[in-house]
């Protein structure tokens, strides 16, 4: 096992020569709602240090680079394949990045022409549109491109050494193993190219899919399993996805599969497999791929009750092995970074001793207001008690006279749910002034996707305001949500219904009742609390979702806006759809319908988007803001996958960082710890990227995201995402499938 003794931690994370150029972080004055009292954070002595899984690249490790510009059709799709072909034929490193073919070992124009001619003959369908490739002598690499070169070149050469150093980190358990694989990414910190080193853990079943298939009565029982391509040379980047269809026996599909792959290992496996072996279809994100069963390994989902029971997994043992304490995770990072350091490629990790301005703390104090102008500092420890004492900030008009219509999904047949509902009803009437009406209860004896879907469909007919779903307790996971939550949430979202999960342990803990009530009220359009003082930098904070669905003969653009005012109160949810011809540009009216003149004229709007905001949508948004509304829009992209982790170092012990810890990579990007982790787990930060034309500072963007994570009313765990992009992936999937979601609503049904 890899160890990391305290006396060598400093060698790993401290480098006296490290330097990045960053502007001092923007600070607000006492007028904003984050901090009206100085003694919350600013006066506390800084007794801890911070570091991050990001390492600056040694300048000398980057040789002179050369770039080639491609001429012809569809060069963006060809570039990566051409780089791979050149890498196999010539010396040096080749990559496709920034719209250029980049190398550290250029070839002559004659060699390039000969290579392109050969490729056109071997693969005419792919390369027939490629006319030429000429050196771009004016090209200058950006810091991020230099990092990408180091990642795909010199660091890729070290992968066998990384694997050797990590060989002992795989944990063998009953029926499965826990694999740790490094995740390296190109980063830019200040003006320096850098590399982040993170780790990903997978639960891999000991038997491959071919063997699992022999043990099932019907092949369709394999549908729903998660699998990984076992033939990939790079296990970290191996395809992972869900089996969505049984295609049939290999005898009918062998020739097609052989024509689709050029990997020798995969071709050999397909040729050697028996005729009766199954071919399955795997969906990975939005694409599907056909695989022979013997090429796939089965992955166990730690939050899946079906996987745990089906494969005889000790769930508690698997979770203990899956979770990595901060010190152990840091030791894995060190094992990889030390190899890169000895090769002269990377320097020591960025830390608060050498770049304190990058780690400068945010002021994370938020004052909230309940009913009757009662203002309290936000505290997770006291929130339930204060909500019980002070009451709801705003009651939805409808519920002054009408009860909240509740439907129930009950997977706990022996639990005292009737007593719980009755206690909740009495407390709602006596202390909060609300009435409830139970309109439907659906009992589910065996929890499965099919049974839950049937239950939700049956309940939807009753037009309930909210679905309360009662489930057993689950172990804490290194994920935002467990499988039960995702299933119910996805099905309820499809129908535009609000839902709330209640765990078994909550039934026996009366002190949690105010938390449940807060969720019930908040998700039905009431407002339990708001921020006591308006934002000083924005009038609205909006979550933007945009989905393009391409069908034969046309396309449909669906856009949704979740609009909150500057005190954190939901204004409305708005949906707009346009059906267009295949090549027709998206009209400006789409944004006009989402952001009407009467509401947004001359306003300051922070726009949160889940992941990359495509340039087409960004330009449309900014054009309407500037020319139509005379408003200032500040888009903020929020990335949640593959983000490097932050650590806290105190008295030579490595610990999880606190909520609100931040690392600013540059004036437009930062890592933010937006959720609280338990003692034995590391929080997963978010990566924020502020648009270049934004009218707010990076710290304003951080503040808006951190504050809006507090508006998940009634969540038992500390949520990681702001309410503006919560369940954005599921919402987008249903929008793409044409789900019948409300065009306008004052209820945050997605929470």
pLDDT digits (tens, 9 = 90+) for 510-537: 888 999 999 999 999 999 999 999 999 9
Residue the block writes with tokens 């219509």: 405
- Whether 4 shows a pLDDT value over 50: the answer reads no
Cα–Cα distance, 571 to 590 (Å, whole number): 19
In the predicted model, is pLDDT for residue 237 greater than 50? yes
Query: Which residue(s) pair with 103 in the sheet?
Result: 66, 94
> What is the average per-residue pLDDT within 657-686?
90
Q: How far apart are CA 557 and CA 735, in angstroms?
A: 9
Q: Let me know if 271 is exposed, middle or buried by CB neighbors in 10 A (0-12, 13-18, 19+).
A: exposed
Asked if the model's pLDDT at residue 380 lies above 60, the reply is yes
pLDDT of residue 477: 52
User: What was the pLDDT predicted at 19?
Assistant: 35
| Predicted model pTM | 0.87
Look at the domain 395-526 and name its fold: Rossmann fold (3.40.50)
Stretch 120-134: mean pLDDT: 90
Lowest mean pLDDT across 18-27, 121-130, 139-148, 318-327? 18-27
Residue 123 in this model has a pLDDT that exceeds 50: yes
Distance from C-alpha of 577 to C-alpha of 39, rounded to nearest angstrom = 49
pLDDT of residue 324: 87
Pairing of strands 94-97, 100-103: antiparallel
> Which ranges constitute the DSSP H helices of 178-325?
209-214, 254-260, 264-272, 305-310, 315-322
Q: For residues 124-137, give the mean pLDDT.
A: 91
CATH superfamily of domain region 540-643+685-745: Ribonuclease H-like superfamily/Ribonuclease H (3.30.420.10)
d(CA 14, CA 51): 9
pLDDT(277) > 90: yes
Helix (H) or strand (E) holding 501: strand 498-503
Arithmetic mean of pLDDT, 690-718: 92
Q: Are 434 and 426 in contact (CB under 8 A)?
A: no
**Residue 148 has which token pair?**
């990408």
pLDDT at residue number 656: 92
Token pair 């954190």 in the structure block, residue: 568
- Output the pLDDT for position 481: 56
Would you state the pLDDT for residue 679?
65
Q: For position 171, what pLDDT does the model report?
A: 87
30: pLDDT confidence band, cut at 50, 70 and 90? Answer: very low
- The answer for residues whose C-beta is within 8 angstroms of residue 53's C-beta and 6 or more apart is 196, 197, 198, 333, 349, 644, 645, 646, 647
Examine the pLDDT at 26 and tell me if it is beyond 70: no
φ, ψ dihedrals at 136, nearest 5°: -100, 95
Rounded to 5°, the CA angle 645-658-194 comes to 25
Residue 211, C-beta contacts closer than 8 angstroms, at least 6 positions apart: none
pLDDT at 482: 61
Q: Give me the pLDDT at residue 31, please.
A: 32
* Residue 555: DSSP 8-state: E
Q: What is the pLDDT of residues 714-741, one digit of tens each?
A: 886 778 999 999 988 888 887 877 777 8
The mean predicted confidence, pLDDT, of the chain is: 87
What's the pLDDT score for residue 476? 57
Report the C-alpha gap between 662 and 659 in whole angstroms: 9
DSSP 133-186: EEE-TT----HHHHHHHHHHTHHHHTHHHHHHHTGGG-EEETTEEEEEEEEEEE
Break the chain into its structural domains and give their ranges: 14-60+143-348, 66-140, 395-526, 540-643+685-745
Q: What is the pLDDT of residue 261?
A: 85
pLDDT of 399: 94
Higher pLDDT, 488 or 219: 219
Distance, CA of 410 to CA of 705 (rounded, Å): 34
For residue 493, the model assigns a pLDDT of 83
Confidence of residue 15 (pLDDT cuts 50, 70, 90): very low
Lowest mean per-residue pLDDT among 306-320, 563-577, 657-671: 306-320
pLDDT at residue 35, as a whole number: 34
Would the pLDDT of 32 be above 80? no
Q: Is 395-526's fold the same as 540-643+685-745's? A: no
Q: Is the pLDDT of residue 181 over 60?
A: yes
Q: How would residue 494 be classed by pLDDT, with cut points 50, 70 and 90?
A: confident
Poorest-confidence range of 88-97, 148-157, 165-174? Answer: 165-174
Round to whole Å and give the CA distance between 678 and 347: 31
pLDDT higher than threshold 90 for residue 20:
no
| pLDDT band, very low/low/confident/very high, at 1 (cuts 50, 70, 90) | very low
CA distance 657 to 359: 11
**Mean predicted confidence (pLDDT) in 395-416:** 91
Assign 213 a pLDDT band (cuts: 50, 70, 90): very high
Confidence of residue 487 (pLDDT cuts 50, 70, 90): confident
Cβ neighbors of 723 (< 8 A, separation 6 or more) are 543, 562, 564, 708, 709, 711, 712, 748, 751
- Position 33 pLDDT exceeds 50: no
Q: What is the DSSP letter of 620?
A: H
Task: Give the CA distances from residue 85 to residues 59, 90, 264, in Å, rounded to whole numbers and listed in that order.
Answer: 28, 9, 15
Listed ranges 34-38, 442-446, 473-477; the one with the highest mean pLDDT: 442-446
What percent of the chain shows pLDDT beyond 70? 91
Q: Could you report the per-residue pLDDT of 92-114, keeping only the tens digit for each? A: 999 999 899 999 999 999 999 99
Q: What does the pLDDT average to over 503-514? A: 88
Q: How confident is the model at residue 170 (pLDDT cuts 50, 70, 90)?
A: confident
Q: How far apart are CA 358 and CA 351, in angstroms?
A: 8
If you average pLDDT over residues 615-637, what whole number do you get? 95
Instruction: Tell me which residue has tokens 């050196």.
Output: 135
Residue 6 clears pLDDT 60, i.e. is over it = no
């Amino acid at each position: 096992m890899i160890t990391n003794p305290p006396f060598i931690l400093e060698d790993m994370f401290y480098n006296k020569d490290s330097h990045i150029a960053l502007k001092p972080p923007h600070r607000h004055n006492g007028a904003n709602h984050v901090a009206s009292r100085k003694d919350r954070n600013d006066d506390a002595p800084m007794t801890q240090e911070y570091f991050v899984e990001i390492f600056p690249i040694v300048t000398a490790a980057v040789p002179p680079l050369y770039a080639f510009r491609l001429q012809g059709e569809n060069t963006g799709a060809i570039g990566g394949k051409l780089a791979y072909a050149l890498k196999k034929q010539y010396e040096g490193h080749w990559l496709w990045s920034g719209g250029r073919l980049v190398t550290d070992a250029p070839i002559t124009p004659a060699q390039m022409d000969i290579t392109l001619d050969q490729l056109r003959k071997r693969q005419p369908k792919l390369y027939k549109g490629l006319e030429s490739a000429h050196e771009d002598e004016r090209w200058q690499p950006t810091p991020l491109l230099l990092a990408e070169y180091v990642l795909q070149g010199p660091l890729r050469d070290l992968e066998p050494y990384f694997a050797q150093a990590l060989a002992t980190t795989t944990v063998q358990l009953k029926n499965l193993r826990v694999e740790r694989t490094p995740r390296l990414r190109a980063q830019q910190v200040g003006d320096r190219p850098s590399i982040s080193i993170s780790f990903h853990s997978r639960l891999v079943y000991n038997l491959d899919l071919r063997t699992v298939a022999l043990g099932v009565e019907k092949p369709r029982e394999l549908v729903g399993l998660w699998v990984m391509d076992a033939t990939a040379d790079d296990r970290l980047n191996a395809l992972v996805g869900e089996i969505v269809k049984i295609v049939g026996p290999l005898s009918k599909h062998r020739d097609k599969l052989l024509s689709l792959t050029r990997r020798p290992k995969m071709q050999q496996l397909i040729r050697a497999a028996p005729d009766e072996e199954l071919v399955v279809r795997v969906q990975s994100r939005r694409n599907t791929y056909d695989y022979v069963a013997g090429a796939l390994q089965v992955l166990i989902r730690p939050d899946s009750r079906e996987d745990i029971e089906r494969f005889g997994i000790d769930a508690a043992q698997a979770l203990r092995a899956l979770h990595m304490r901060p010190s152990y995770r840091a030791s894995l990072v060190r094992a990889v970074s030390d190899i890169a350091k000895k090769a002269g490629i990377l320097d020591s990790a960025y830390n608060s001793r050498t770049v304190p301005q990058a780690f400068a703390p945010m002021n994370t104090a938020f004052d909230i207001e309940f009913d009757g102008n009662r203002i309290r500092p936000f505290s997770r420890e006291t929130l339930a008690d204060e909500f019980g004492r002070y009451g709801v900030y705003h009651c939805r008009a409808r519920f002054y006279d009408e009860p909240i219509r509740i439907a129930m999904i009950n997977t706990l047949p022996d639990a005292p749910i009737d007593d719980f509902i009755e206690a909740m009803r009495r407390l709602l009437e006596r202390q909060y002034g609300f009435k409830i009406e139970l309109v439907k209860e659906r009992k589910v004896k065996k929890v499965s996707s099919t049974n839950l879907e049937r239950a939700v469909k049956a309940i939807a007919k009753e037009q309930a305001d909210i679905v309360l779903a009662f489930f057993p307790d689950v172990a804490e996971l290194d994920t935002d949500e467990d499988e039960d939550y995702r299933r119910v949430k996805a099905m309820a979202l499809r129908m535009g219904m609000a839902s709330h999960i209640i765990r078994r342990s909550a039934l026996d803990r009366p002190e949690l009742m105010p938390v449940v009530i807060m969720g019930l009220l908040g998700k039905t359009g009431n407002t339990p609390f708001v921020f006591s003082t308006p934002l000083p930098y924005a009038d609205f904070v909006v979550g933007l979702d945009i989905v393009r669905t391409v069908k034969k003969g046309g396309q449909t653009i669906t856009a949704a806006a979740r609009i909150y005012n500057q005190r954190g109160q939901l204004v409305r949810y708005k949906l707009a759809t346009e059906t267009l011809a295949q090549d027709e540009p998206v009209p400006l009216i789409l944004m006009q319908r989402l952001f009407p003149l009467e509401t947004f004229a001359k306003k300051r709007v922070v726009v949160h988007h889940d992941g990359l905001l495509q340039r087409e949508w960004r330009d449309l948004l900014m054009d309407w803001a500037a020319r139509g509304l005379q408003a200032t829009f500040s888009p903020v992209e929020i990335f949640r996958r593959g983000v490097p982790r932050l650590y806290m170092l105190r008295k030579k012990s490595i610990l999880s960082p606190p909520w609100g810890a931040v690392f600013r990579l540059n004036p437009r990007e930062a890592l933010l710890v937006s959720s609280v982790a338990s003692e034995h787990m590391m929080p997963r930060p978010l990566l924020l990227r502020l648009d270049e034309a934004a009218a707010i500072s990076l710290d304003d963007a951080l503040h808006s995201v951190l504050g809006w994570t507090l508006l998940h009313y009634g969540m038992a765990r500390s949520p990681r995402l702001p309410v503006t992009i919560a369940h954005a992936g599921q919402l987008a999937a249903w929008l793409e499938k044409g789900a019948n979601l409300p065009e306008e609503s004052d209820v945050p049904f997605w929470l």
